[in-house]
Amino acid sequence: MHILAICGSLQAKSSNLTLLQLAAAKAPDGVQVELYDGLRDLPHFNPDLTRDGDEHAPGAVLELRRAVARSDALLIAMPEYGHSLPGSLKNAIDWLIGTGELEGKLVAITSAVAVVERGRRGLAALRTTLGAVSARVAFQEPIARGPDFELELSKLLGLLWAANRGRRP
């Protein structure tokens, strides 16, 4: 199973990036977690940039589309900004809406938080956005940093693996 991990934070030392790096390091046998690091390279969404077809799309956009298309599932970890998702993450999703890479894609969304009550509004906003492309959200819970952090992350990866296995022919 190939999981594309996308961090919704652009911070170099984000706790959400740490969560994704840990997921890549602790992935069970048969699961590869690839960290996508191109969010900051995407131009602001502008349909005019692809009006003449994908061959004219910016390189960063094409790489995002290819990375999502070749993955079995996505793991998105993001901070909550203003009770919503970060603009850079929304921008990335906007680039994918019209081209189908997210249609029916299995997705787990989470947020590394200080206490589990935080981050829920942002995750709900992200789920709504992913609903516009009929993505299959298999997990939508924040994960509190602390002694159970790795255990909760392992459970999340297990859920993704099981949901993907159930979908394969």
User: pLDDT tens-digit profile of 42-84?
Assistant: 999 999 888 776 777 899 999 999 999 999 999 999 999 999 9
Burial label, 100 (beta-carbon count in 10 A; 0-12, 13-18, 19+): middle
**Token pair belonging to 84:** 């919503």
CATH code for the domain in which residue 89 is found: 3.40.50.360
Residue 169: what pLDDT? 42
Mean pLDDT in residue range 12-38: 95
Averaged pLDDT of the chain: 93
CB atoms closer than 10 angstroms to residue 5: 24
Per-residue pLDDT reduced to its tens digit, 104-142: 999 999 999 999 889 999 999 999 999 999 999 999 999
Please give the tally of structural domains in the chain. 1
For residues 163 and 138, the answer to whether their CB atoms sit within 8 Å is yes
Share of the chain above pLDDT 90, in %: 84
Backbone angles phi, psi at 167, to 5 degrees: -95, -25
Give the range of the structural domain holding residue 93, as residue numbers without chain letter. 2-167
- CA separation (Å) from 150 to 4, 24, 69? 19, 12, 28
For residues 64 and 43, the answer to whether their CB atoms sit within 8 Å is no
Per-residue pLDDT reduced to its tens digit, 140-153: 999 999 999 999 99
Q: Which residues of 51-81 are buried (b: 16+ CB within 10 A; e: fewer)?
A: eeeeeebeebbeebbebbeebbbbbbbbbbb
Residue 51: what pLDDT? 77
